[in-house]
Amino acid sequence: MTPKFKAQAGTFESSDIMVLIEPVSEEAGRQIDISSTVMLQFEDDIKNTINQVLDDLDIQNVHLIAKDKGALTPTIKARVEAAVKRSLGIQEGTM
């Protein structure tokens, strides 16, 4: 699946992560830009978690920007999933 709209999920609060999704052309691949308060220690973990969610949702082409404030893995997963679903136009049960 390919994201259709710009979308975001999360906040800039401590223990949260703001995830922004920008659509890209098909076959552009994944571009993931991360900034984090715990970058030195956890950059790889954050990137792996993001890639895992994108794999699960079958998203191959996307530009994802993540601004992390020390979010735990379940929070990162949740925010990426919410942002991707919003960018796909899947927003069941919200307004």
Partner 1 sequence: MARKKRRSMLYIPGNNPAMIQQAGVYGCDAVLLDLEDAVALNQKDAARILVRNMLQTVEFYDTEVCVRVNNMHTPFGLADLEEIVPLQPNNIRFPKTESVQDVKDFMKEVRRIEKEHGIKKPTMTIHVMIETAKGVANVYEIAGADPRIDAITIGGQDLTADMGIVKTPDGVGIDYARKRIVMAGKAHGLDVLDTVFADVNDEEGLREETEYIKKIGFAGKALINPRQVDGVHEVFNPTENEVRKAYRVYSEFIRNKNAGIGVFAIDGKMVDAPVVQRAITVLEYANIDLKEIEESVAS
The footprint of partner 1 (CB under 8 A) covers 9-10, 13-16, 71-75, 77-79, 81-82, 85-86, 91-95
CB of 2 to partner 1, least distance (A): 20
Amino acid sitting at position 41: Q
Q: Token pair 């609060």 is at which residue?
A: 13
CB of 18 to partner 1, least distance (A): 11
- The structure tokens listed for 88 are 């796909």
Quick one: CA torsion of 73, 78, 80, 85, rounded to 10 degrees? 160
Nearer to partner 1 (CB atom), residue 8 or residue 61: 8
Nearer to partner 1 (CB atom), residue 14 or residue 25: 14
89 φ, ψ (degrees, to nearest 5)? 85, 15
CB of 25 to partner 1, least distance (A): 27
